[in-house]
Amino acid sequence: MRLCVCFVLLSFILCANADLREGARFAWDAAGGAWDMLRAYRDMREANYKNADKYFHARGNYDAAQRGPGGAWAAKVISDAREKWQSDVSGRHAEDTRADQEANHWGRNGGDPNRYRPAGLPSKY
């Protein structure tokens, strides 16, 4: 009987440990995804290239989503918050917000960000 109780307790511990590892991995991927989004934003600001914003939206979401579910989650949260802020505060038009969200979705779902790459954008990006 004692052996059975020990086995059950050990099973609970192993299951809890697996959940903790999974949760930690999700959080790690989310942090990395947030970093990918920040890097794409910084590159967009540095490039300061006309009609390149959709490319950087797609690229940031793509890079973040490649990290796994946590990265994709972070990309969605950041993208949605940024678009909401821009449409509410800066007064950007709904059409621009829709186009940005399309690029976000495209990248987050594994689409090639180069679909939105403007001609002449330096290869550095």
SS3 sequence, 59-107?
A: HHHHHHHCCCHHHHHHHHHHHHHHHHHHHHHHCCCHHHHHHHHHHHHHH
Which pLDDT score is estimated for 106?
Answer: 98
- Joined tokens for residue 113: 């960000």
CATH at residue 60 = 1.10.132.110
Residues 47 and 121: beta-carbon distance below 8 Å: yes
Residue 44 to residue 23: CA distance in whole angstroms:
32
Q: Is residue 106 part of a domain?
A: yes
Q: Is residue 20 part of a domain?
A: no
Residues 46 and 63: beta-carbon distance below 8 Å: no
Could you read off the pLDDT of 21-78 as tens digits, one per residue?
A: 888 999 999 999 999 999 999 999 999 999 999 999 999 999 999 999 999 999 999 9
Which pLDDT score is estimated for 42?
Answer: 98
Q: Is residue 15 part of a domain?
A: no
Q: Is residue 57 part of a domain?
A: yes
Residue 56 to residue 33: CA distance in whole angstroms:
14
Which pLDDT score is estimated for 46?
Answer: 97
Could you read off the pLDDT of 108-119 as tens digits, one per residue?
A: 999 999 999 999
pLDDT band at 19 (very low <50, low <70, confident <90, very high): confident
104 is in which domain, residue-wise? Answer: 25-116
What domain count does the chain have? 1
